[in-house]
C-alpha cells in the first residue's frame, strides 16, 4: 500500500520543506524528498492542513489554513537548520511562492512545479457557479475527478492515494488563491527553479511560461510528464535538477537565521 503519511529525514543543517498538491498527500513528494535526503539534507514532507483525511475534512479549510500550516512547518525546520529551501508542487507551489513573498529573506531557494497560476477555462467558469449553488442548496459537495490524478506513469498513478473528488468550498478557495499569488509574483525575489510538465492537464503549461518570465528565471520543461511531475515519468531528471539547484544555493548563502535578524 502507498504511504500517504508525512515524512521526515534527518540530515545535515540544510533543510528542505516539500509541499504536495491539492487533494493530495505527502506521497506525491516522497521520491523527490528521498532523493534530496540522499544528498545529506534534512527533508520534511508534511501533510497540508485538511489533507490526507476525508473530503469533508478538506472542505472546511481554506488557503489561509493551508498557508498557516506551511508557516508553522517552515518555522520548525528553520529553527534546527542553518538554511531552508522550499519545494512545492501544484498547490504546494502556490504556497511556496506566497511564503517566499512574505518571508523571502529566510529562504535560500525555491523550487516550484506545476503551479496553477490559473485553471483551465472551463474550470474558471464552473467553479464559482458550483460554489454558489453549494452555498444555496448544500449540493454538490464535491466534483468527481475524471480519470484520477494527472500522472502519465500508470504504476505511480495507481499508487497515488489522493482524494477521489474535489470538495467544492475548498476548490473555490484554491481558485481564489491562484489570483492572490498571480497578482504578487514580482514580489518574490528568492532564487527560483520553475518546472512544468509539457502535457499538464490541470495547470496549463502556459502557467509555467508566465511564472518563469515574471520571476526572471528559466523554465525546466519535463517533456513526457503530466501534472504531478515529482512522481511522473521524468521524476529522476527532475530530482537531479532540484537537488543541484538547492545544493548550489545552500553553498552560496550564509546562515539565513543570522541574516534575518
Q: Does 74 map to a domain?
A: yes
Q: How big is the CA angle at 90 (ends 145 and 5), to the nearest 5 degrees?
A: 80
User: pLDDT class for 161, splitting at 50, 70, 90?
Assistant: very high
Whether residue 194 is contained in a domain is answered as yes
State the number of CA atoms in the 13 A half-sphere of 242 facing the CB: 35
For residue 38, pLDDT over 80 is answered with: yes
Q: What is the chain's mean pLDDT, rounded? A: 93
Flag whether pLDDT at 169 surpasses 80. yes
Residue 88 lies in a domain: yes
Question: The CATH number of the domain where 61 resides is what?
Answer: 3.40.50.1820
- Kindly state whether residue 2 falls inside one of the protein's structural domains: no
Domain range for 160: 7-259
Residue 36 lies in a domain: yes
In a domain, 110, yes or no: yes
Q: Which one is predicted more confidently, 109 or 256?
A: 109
Alpha carbon of 18 to those of 2, 33, 183: distances in Å? 18, 7, 24
Number of domains in the chain: 1
Q: Does residue 83 form part of some domain?
A: yes
Tell me whether residue 125 is exposed, middle or buried, using C-beta atoms within 10 angstroms of its C-beta: 0 to 12, 13 to 18, 19 or more. Answer: exposed
135 domain-assigned: yes
Amino acid at each position: 500500500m502507498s504511504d500517504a503519511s508525512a515524512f521526515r529525514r534527518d540530515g545535515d543543517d540544510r533543510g528542505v520543506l516539500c509541499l504536495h498538491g491539492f487533494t493530495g498527500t505527502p506521497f506525491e513528494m516522497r521520491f523527490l524528498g528521498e532523493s534530496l535526503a540522499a544528498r545529506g539534507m534534512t527533508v520534511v514532507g508534511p501533510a497540508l492542513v485538511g489533507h490526507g483525511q476525508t473530503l469533508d475534512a478538506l472542505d472546511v479549510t481554506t488557503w489561509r489554513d493551508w498557508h498557516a500550516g506551511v508557516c508553522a512547518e517552515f518555522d520548525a525546520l528553520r529553527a534546527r537548520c542553518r538554511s531552508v529551501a522550499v519545494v512545492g508542487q501544484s498547490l504546494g507551489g502556490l504556497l511556496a511562492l506566497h511564503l517566499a513573498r512574505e518571508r523571502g529573506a529566510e529562504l535560500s531557494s525555491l523550487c516550484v512545479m506545476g503551479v496553477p497560476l490559473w485553471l483551465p477555462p472551463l474550470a474558471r467558469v464552473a467553479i464559482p457557479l458550483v460554489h454558489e449553488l453549494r452555498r444555496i442548496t448544500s449540493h454538490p459537495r464535491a466534483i468527481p475527478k475524471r480519470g484520477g490524478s494527472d500522472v502519465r506513469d500508470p504504476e505511480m498513478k495507481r499508487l497515488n492515494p489522493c482524494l477521489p473528488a474535489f470538495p467544492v468550498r475548498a476548490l473555490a478557495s484554491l481558485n481564489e488563491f491562484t489570483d492572490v499569488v498571480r497578482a504578487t509574483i514580482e514580489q518574490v525575489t528568492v532564487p527560483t527553479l520553475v518546472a512544468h510538465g509539457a502535457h499538464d492537464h490541470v495547470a496549463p503549461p502556459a502557467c509555467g511560461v508566465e511564472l518563469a518570465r515574471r520571476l526572471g528565471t528559466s523554465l525546466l520543461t519535463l517533456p513526457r510528464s503530466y501534472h504531478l511531475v515529482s512522481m511522473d515519468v521524468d521524476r529522476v531528471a527532475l530530482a537531479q535538477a532540484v537537488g543541484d539547484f538547492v545544493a548550489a544555493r545552500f553553498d552560496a548563502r550564509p546562515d539565513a537565521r543570522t541574516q534575518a535578524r
